[in-house]
Amino acid sequence: MQKKPFATKEQLEAIAAQFPTPFHLYDEAGIRRNVEAMRDAFSWNPGFREYFAVKATPNPFLINILREYGCGCDCATGVELMLADACGAHGHDLMFSSNETPAADYALADELGAIINLDDITHIDFLEQTIGHIPDTISCRYNPGGLFEISNGIMDNPGDAKYGMTTEQLFEAFRILKSKGAKNFGIHAFLCSNTVTNDYYPELAKVLFNLAVRLQEETGAHIAFINLSGGVGIPYSPDQEPNDIRVIGEGVRRVYEEVLVPAGMGDVAIYTELGRFMMGPYGCLITRAIHEKHIYKEYIGVDACAANLMRPAIYGAYHHITVAGKEDWPCDHIYDVVGGLCENNDKFAIDRALPRIDRGDLLVIHDTGAHGHSMGYNYNGKLRSAEVLLREDGSAQLIRRAETPADYFATLDCFPEYEQLVKRK
């Protein structure tokens, strides 16, 4: 099976003539269709809000598309808060979900009026000492421990994760926070990553909704919102069936009416913090084949590397590859598609069946719209690539320029020969 790129070979060659490869390309039309579907799927809940996980794709041009639809921003660091603030997200448009948090980041979150989501019970005192008070609205992250298994067999291990509070700690945290003046409470949990199933959110919701009823009954805290966080994934492999967000939203609605409404909690808002689902399929890495090598295996060398997309190198993650213009050719060649880092794990594909690839061919590496460019780095002096937005009208807009050697050397301004470095072409 194949995935179809959202741009034709002719479009890609025209963009590459303007912005040299490698670059990340994003599909505005696809992003808009997806956020509209997300909004419609949870329209039954008047307080619903998607807080886009900024870490997934921290580009203001893309964030502002989501902001047009009322999305907030989920931030994990002070710099992400600064970026979201620059996009016009202020106050409760911001959700600050962090861990091992520096005091300065908590101070900035408070200054911007963000909803702070505490990762640990000890952070209550740390936050109060840092900002001098406990906010009226506060959230706590929950970790139930053990294994979390979905009915269709997908399993993850929250008990091995560094995030969140135990059940006992969560109840105690609510009591402490309430005694310190907090008035509105949220519950947050992330128990499975990249689930390709419509069951995850409804089953997580049932756990959190039942927990919320107990918390309100036993602590007297007013539960204002429940944050289902992320975890709704995308089909990286073409043989996977994509999630249907409308089915997911309806599943959460049924559990809401089964658990929360009878408990008199029908005013609880539902929040989500999706990154991968919101952006992943609507970005791709465009790279050009520049070398071929015939030794014990057949290799195609491209001008991108793990510094542009590190998921295959660090996770062994699958990303589908299309050879532009050869979509209908037989996949009768077996290649390792590799980058130029001095590391043997710098491989986008291993033993992958692909059409014959010639030097100069453009390769589309799919599903890089989340955790793609954002995880880039500068090992081997590799420079981060440009980001380009394919607009709805077919035009291409540069939304982040490619790095230059001057960017790489910019933090060496304490080096005596700094000027010599930045002036070299």
Helix axes 245-259, 200-219, angle to 10 degrees: 30
The 10s digit of each residue's pLDDT in 37-83 is: 999 999 999 999 999 999 999 999 999 999 999 999 999 999 999 99
Of residues 369, 377, 386, 318, the one with CA closest to residue 56? 369
Of residues 222, 207, 190, 209, the one with CA closest to residue 257? 209
Candidates 1.10.3210.10, 2.40.240.10, 3.20.20.10, 1.20.140.10; CATH matching 28-279 = 3.20.20.10
CB atoms within 10 A of CB 204: 24
pTM, entire model: 0.95
- Residue ranges for the chain with pLDDT beneath 50: none
133 is written with which tokens? 């008070």
For residue 145, the model assigns a pLDDT of 82
**Catalytic machinery residues:** 342
CA distance 58 to 281: 16
For residue 425, the model assigns a pLDDT of 52
For residue 148, the model assigns a pLDDT of 72
For residue 192, the model assigns a pLDDT of 82
DSSP string covering 389-403: EE-TTS-EEEEEPPP
The DSSP output letter for 232 is: B
Separation in Å, CA 355 to CA 12, 87, 188, 358: 18, 42, 46, 9
42 is written with which tokens? 């949870």
For residue 151, the model assigns a pLDDT of 62
114 is written with which tokens? 């963000």
For residue 357, the model assigns a pLDDT of 98
Nearest 5°: CA angle at 157, between 166 and 53? 80
Neighbouring residues of 364: CB distance < 8 A, sequence distance ≥ 6: 5, 7, 12, 284, 285, 286, 321, 322, 323, 324
CA distance 277 to 205: 18
For residue 311, the model assigns a pLDDT of 96
SS3 (DSSP) at 382: coil
147 is written with which tokens? 């294994």
Of residues 312, 289, 292, 310, the one with CA closest to residue 384? 310
Separation in Å, CA 371 to CA 24, 168, 280: 12, 34, 8
For residue 153, the model assigns a pLDDT of 56
Q: Which residue has the tokens 């408070």?
A: 110
Contact criterion met (CB below 8 Å) for 148 and 142? no
26 is written with which tokens? 């994003």
The dotted CATH code for 281-412 is 2.40.37.10
- Residue 312: asked if its preceding bond is cis (omega within 30°), the reply is no
Separation in Å, CA 300 to CA 62, 268, 317: 32, 53, 18
Going from N- to C-terminal start, the domains of the chain cover: 28-279, 281-412
End-to-end Cα distance, the chain: 45
